[in-house]
Amino acid sequence: MSVTTTSRIAYKDINESGVSKNQKDTIYDIVNNNNTGKGMSLKEISALSGIEINAVSGRVNDLKKDNRLETTAKRKCSITSRLINPVIVKTTFSEKTILNELKYNGDISHIINEDEDKVNLLLKIYGYENVVFKYSIGRESRYIRVAYWKPIAKEDLNQISIHSNLHLKEVSIFDDDCGYKYWYDISVKQVKGENTNEST
């Protein structure tokens, strides 16, 4: 993301004119208006808003506690080039329910970031078809299923863990009619040596 001088001036004018509500609302509006789907880092928010990085960090934490922002998949910050957990606007339950119904390329529910796209490609390479990415109903998490709840081989799960930023945890239940059904909870792997202070 390139932060232009014009954008900085515009936000500065809004803040000084008193039109802007407060730092929390300003930061929320900036993240909400970011349409890249990749979220924003603390540095990117600070550069665009003109708010000091320490204040941005505090307000972002407040917005997370208010359930207005949440972290998304890791990526490199466009300013520092460091691996970070960017923040996005937290979707409501009803919005996530709608997202569950969205289809991507005909056989895939809505893929929300590059990490999921990479896992989908790896599974295709390993011979899996009809890979579905969804939100867990009533939970703040994502999962994968393959076709009609088919298992993923453990060696393929290991390869995905090696070659992507995501970890897939196998979950299964036994159905009297169909036998075992499998799905895989998605989590973002922790990076060794990551600075948790610059978490967004």
pLDDT in tens, 79-118: 999 999 999 888 654 444 444 444 333 334 568 888 898 9
Range(s) of the chain covered by CATH 1.10.10.10: 5-90
Domain 5-90 has CATH 3.40.250.10: no
Handedness of CA 19, 23, 24, 26 (dihedral sign): positive
d(CA 103, CA 15): 40
Out of 28-32, 35-39, 78-82, 89-93, which region has the weakest mean confidence (pLDDT)?
89-93
pLDDT band at 73 (very low <50, low <70, confident <90, very high): confident
Q: Which helix (H) or strand (E) holds 97?
A: helix 93-101
182 forms beta bridges with 172
Whether residue 194 is predicted with pLDDT greater than 60 in this model: the reply is no
- Pull the structure tokens for residue 70: 């949440």
Residue 109's pLDDT is 56
Handedness of CA 134, 135, 138, 141 (dihedral sign): positive
What's the burial of 173, exposed, middle or buried (CB within 10 Å: 0-12/13-18/19+)?
exposed
Query: Model pTM greater than 0.85?
Result: no
pLDDT band at 139 (very low <50, low <70, confident <90, very high): low
Mean pLDDT, range 187-199, rounded to an integer: 60
In terms of pLDDT, which residue wins out, 132 or 21?
A: 132
- The share of the chain scoring above pLDDT 70, in percent, equals 70
Whether residue 9 is predicted with pLDDT greater than 70 in this model: the reply is no
